[in-house]
Structures are given as structure tokens and as C-alpha cells.
Structure 1
Amino acid sequence: MKAFLQSPVGVIELEETDGYISALRVISQMPEQQSASTPVLDEAVKQLNEYFAGTRKDFDLPLKQAGTPFQQKAWEYLSTIPYGETVSYKAEASSIGSPNGCRAVGSANGKNNIAIIVPCHRVVNEGGSLGGYAYGLEMKKKLLDLESRQKSLF
């Protein structure tokens, strides 16, 4: 089942599988199909709207995405990065027990299917430059700017 919402970063498509959010994608335009309404999708839409309005900094949703054990570790770590803050790929790699795994962490983060909710946009290069992002650096910058502007409200 899928739900759609217009956001400051574009149209978001949310996918639910067996009671879990399994994907969040940014798509080019609002589809003609209607959004599905389930308790999980409705809550995800509500929480994303709160996030973009600056009134939510943490998501509380059932999430499930397929990945290797290393990818799962990397994605779990992402949710520990505080709102409005960033960490380096190197710091993430060290934190999950793979201090030489910067590239592997970058690859795992790039395969994260639940962008924004699992905040891979909060990982940057060690020198502070943005690094990469599946939806482009402009969107990564928008998300980081949104969080830094709203952080003082909490």
C-alpha cells in the first residue's frame, strides 16, 4: 500500500508492507492514484508533516527494510544521530565496529530505502562537506538546513 504527500523537498511516496514502513521515496510528481489509508501510513504522513513543520525531531514508526547485516547495522546507527547534527562517514563506520569501512558505510547509507525517517542525510564527509546523497546534494542541504533552523525551537 502506498500513500503520497507534498513536502518542501518534493512529492513523497510512502510504502507499507505487512504493517511496516518499508520505503520512502521522493518522486517527480504526484501520481493520479489515491493514497491508501492505513493506521501506519496515516501516522507516517502525520509525523512527516510535523517534521517538515518543525514540530517533530524523532520518528516513532514501525520500520522494516531488507538488507545485509552490515547494512542493517549502518541503518540502525543512523537513527541515533541527533536531530540537527551531523556525523562523518568515518565516525559512523567506527561506531558500528568497522573503523576502516567508510566506503562500505557510504554504500549502505546509499541503499537506505527509508530516507528522511532513517536520516542518512545527517552523515557527511569528515571535513564537513556534504558527501553524497541518493536524492542529490541539493535535497541533502535542504534537509540539513531545515533541521538546523528548527533545532532552536526544541
Structure 2
Amino acid sequence: MVKINRKWAVVTCLMALLIWGNSLVPGSGSGSLSLTVMEAIRGFLHGVGLPYEWVTNFVVRKCAHFTEYMVLGILATHAFDFEGRRTFDVLLPTAVFLLLIPSIDETIQLFVPGRAGMITDVMIDCCGAATGVVLRYLLRSLMCAKKAA
């Protein structure tokens, strides 16, 4: 039986709602935000003398997908496996949750003007979530090793 940490489960659900809320923003608003972020990053890189032309709207959007799901992966792992057991009965519901959320996210976008649900985005999202899960376990292992020393 999986014991879920309720406080972290609430935070995880709030993050999922934030992600879905972003998907409800019409394409024009979402694109405008991405362009603003892109220009800020380009300006910063240019200001410190680094190449900035590679920062495109596409790169910003895909990095945003990856990052928000990496955070979700960290939170979900903490909610489902706060004891750090890493067993199948803990990892399976975590994996199902982290596949279901981006699938619903991209489905939502099918009904929002100017947006499109894309299977490639689900894959990017899942890679971000998996990275979050791995990071959470690595950090937990490092913290436990430090306490033992």
C-alpha cells in the first residue's frame, strides 16, 4: 500500500493545476510571454558577451515544458515516496501520474485557440518529469549519505 504525503500531494496537485492553467492561455498570450522571456534571455547573454542568437522562441517554449515537468517530477516523487523506498509499488503510481498529467495538458491545448496538443511535447514533458524523479532520488541519497557521515 502506497502511503502518500498529503502536504506534498497538495503542492503537487497545485503544480499540475498551474501547468494546466498555462495551457488554457490562448496562443497569442502564450506566444507573447515566450517572446518576452526570449528577449530577456538574449539581452542578458548579449550583455555578458555570450552568443545569444541560438535562443529562439522554440527553445524557450520547449525548455519551459521540460522545466515545469522537472519540478512536477520532484514534487510527485516526494508526495508518493517521501520515505525514499524506490519500490515498484511506489514508482508505478508515480510514473502513471507523471504520464497522465502531460497527456491531459496536451489534450487541453487542443481546445484552446491558437494552441495545439503535440505528442512531442508529451515526450519532452515526460523527460522533464523523469529528470525530476532522478534528481529527487540523487539529492535524497546525498542528504542521507551526509547525515550518515
Bin the TM-score by the shorter chain: under 0.3
TM-score, normalised by the number of residues in structure 2: 0.27
**Which has the bigger relative contact order, CA under 8 A and spacing at least 6?**
2
Please say which structure displays the higher CA radius of gyration: 2
TM-score, normalised by the number of residues in structure 1: 0.27
